[in-house]
Chains A and B, each alone.
With several copies, the nearest count.
Chain A
Amino acid sequence: TELSGDQDFQLFLQRNLEFTRKIRGDVAALQRVVCDTLQLCKEDELLLVRQHLDIAQAPLEQCHKRTFQAETCFSQIRAGLHIYQGSLATIQALLPGHAGLVETLQLDMANLSSNIQQQMEDLDLATVTYPTENQDPLPTFSSHFHHQVGGFFILANFQRFLETAYRALRHLASL
């Protein structure tokens, strides 16, 4: 795409590649806490229970295709960040002792989303402005155990989401 040569765009990509790595590190830290404190560590031990939980999973297929469009991919990344921002409230309730870690993650996600939004606006691409306060209703769980497993899968899905987003940004940076 014609963006590849643009100096500002490259700076945006370099910065937000590092930012995404930081966020992935934040999520990994939370996953370690869930493993250490809730003893929920291996996804393949929880597949049966997962079938009973409706866990948010943000689509990112626009960033998968070899010839993806930056605009649609960026929009999907932002939409996904918004969905996971809401689901983090579930994690906050699970890990009261680690509110700081969750708050850092939420601040980083909000910043990454607005960084992408500003870059899209700089490129005259259409953008959506999400309300700062998340209005989506929190998922309800039929038991404390399901709530914990739900939290585990939200983090696992979000980590996969970030890996895909990271590969998309890296792909753009390599053009």
Chain B
Amino acid sequence: GTLGCASVTVGSPIVPLGSAVTASCTVQRELCRGLEQGKVRIRWMLDNKLVAGSQRQGPGGTEVSNLTLPRFNHTQARLWCCVEWNGTKQRVGMAEIRAGYPPAKPLNLSCVLNLSDYGLTCQWEQGTDSHLPTSVVLKCTGSRAQEVTGCTPREGHSHCTVPRRLLQLYRQMEIWVSATNALGTAESEHLCIDPMDVAKLDPPTLQSIQSIPFQTDCITLAWDLAWGTEHMELQCELRYRAPEDSAWALVTGISGRAGTAQRCGFLFGTQYHFQMRCRRNSASALAHWSEWSPCRSYTTHEKAPTGK
């Protein structure tokens, strides 16, 4: 097709919301078959609303109309350049304008390593909508800034999973979120973590609870660690309480691999509920506790009649 009889130019097709928009429409009479005679009256429409421009003669017999919209507060609109022709309004040029904000800084980035497939799932808060097409990507790199890998969240989601093959295990990785649109880029805080530090463990399973040594107020518990954690140094916590107790008693610093623990000071003939949880014995404050194990109850034996 030939060059059109009108062309519309705008300062920028993407502007900050509320800022000014300038546009100009140039009509080349000799290129507009049918417009040769008579006065060319240029008119503007913002979507379907008439807006006033200022028309003047341009170079080489062209007619030029300039338009300024002081505060453009549509996130998306079409600016139409029109001319009168045979009593009809003819649309002869158009420009699409989008307005919004630079991307908000992604906040509260946190990650969890799923031990079943060793995928690292990270989530974050996207912040206020920028109203503009924004590409959001989770980036991660081994600490010596080798190649940057990561993952891309699905449209409208603010979480994604870095597959095992893109991860460096047992070593610090730098992980952050980067959001980019036409008005700028924003990055979240950078997390420096060893993916293993954020491994999400399944809880241990309390196998047996017995009054051992016999005739004492002591109890011995035995547990199995979650599948897939056999090679890990785990620190665990035990909590127990009798139904009428208001708070749990907490026993910390239990070595996971020990497999058993003994605790004394229990009342006789009383039912107690026990739960246990573990996490990797790593320095990182980010290490996630597993959920508490399913509750196991145990009733201590009656006190033996003394002085028999």
Contact = CB atoms under 8 A, between A and B. Distances in A.
A–B interface present (Cβ within 8 A): yes
Interface of A: 11, 14-16, 18-19, 21-22, 24-25, 38-40, 44-49, 51-54, 103-104, 107-108, 111-112, 114-115, 118, 121, 139-146, 148, 150
Given A39-B78, A104-B164, A146-B1, A24 B231 contact: yes
A115 B4 contact: no
A45 B31 CA distance: 18
A151 to B, nearest CB: 12
B88 A52 contact: no
A46 B1 contact: no
A140 B1 contact: yes
Nearest to A39: B78
A175 to B, nearest CB: 19
28 contacts: A14-B233, A15-B171, A15-B194, A15-B282, A18-B231, A18-B233, A39-B80, A46-B90, A48-B32, A48-B90, A49-B4, A49-B90, A52-B2, A52-B31, A53-B1, A54-B1, A103-B165, A112-B170, A115-B170, A118-B143, A139-B1, A142-B1, A143-B4, A143-B7, A145-B4, A145-B94, A146-B4, A150-B1
B96 to A, nearest CB: 8
Contacts of B5: 48-49, 52
Contacts of B32: 48, 51
B44 to A, nearest CB: 14
B230 interface: yes
B256 to A, nearest CB: 12
A118 B172 CA distance: 11
Interface of B: 1-5, 7-8, 31-35, 47-48, 78, 80, 82-83, 85, 88-94, 96, 118, 142-144, 164-165, 167-171, 194, 196, 230-233, 282-283
B81 to A, nearest CB: 9
The prevalent SS among residues of B at the interface is: loop
Nearest to A149: B91
Given A52-B4, A142-B1, A142-B2, A47 B88 contact: yes
Contact of A48 (B8, B85, B143, B169): B85
Contact of A22 (B164, B231, B283): B231
Contact of B171 (A49, A111, A140): A111
Nearest to B197: A15
